[in-house]
Amino acid sequence: MAGMTTLEVSTRQRTEMVDVTDRVRKVVEGSGVRAGVAVCFVPHTTAGITIQENADPDVTRDVLYKLAQLVPRDDAAYRHSEGNSDAHIKTSLVGTSQTVLIEDGRLVLGTWQAIYLCEFDGPRRRRLYVRCMGEGG
């Protein structure tokens, strides 16, 4: 059994990482897929998705801090007229999809891992598509 679910994620800041693990977990559990993969895809050019540590909130802060250092918001060399070139570049670095294994009807993540939607041009309302593929139970 396979299907796609659309999750709406509201962000509150220009840059932030929103833990969507529990929401993705519920999609997987309701999908009927016992063994396979869950593909998580963000259809935006200024938002991404990553897997990162969820035990210490300083990790996500540090990721956003370093991305801001590597790709500053204001750079006189940017030519994109909307003023969000940094968000486009950060999205390219982070990526817009993640694939997570499913085993026994559950996401396979490490002890400290979580799935994060990464906002780089918020606040906004974002979509996260989750497609579960594999063998049913």
Domain definitions of the chain by residue range:
3-136
pTM: 0.94
Peptide bond into 123 cis (omega under 30): yes
- Return the pLDDT at 137: 56
For 101, how many CA atoms within 13 A lie in the half-sphere containing its CB? 6
pLDDT higher than threshold 60 for residue 2: no
State how far the Cα of 134 lies from the Cα of 137, in Å rounded to an integer: 10
The kind and range of the H/E element at 2 are none
- Complete edge-to-edge strand list for the sheet that includes strand 33-41: 3-10, 125-136, 33-41, 97-103, 106-107
Residue % of the chain over a pLDDT of 90: 88
Average pLDDT, the chain: 95
- Return the pLDDT at 1: 42
The answer to whether the Cα torsion of 61, 117, 48, 81 is positive or negative is negative
Tokens describing residue 69: 């250092």
| CATH number, domain 3-136 | 2.60.120.460
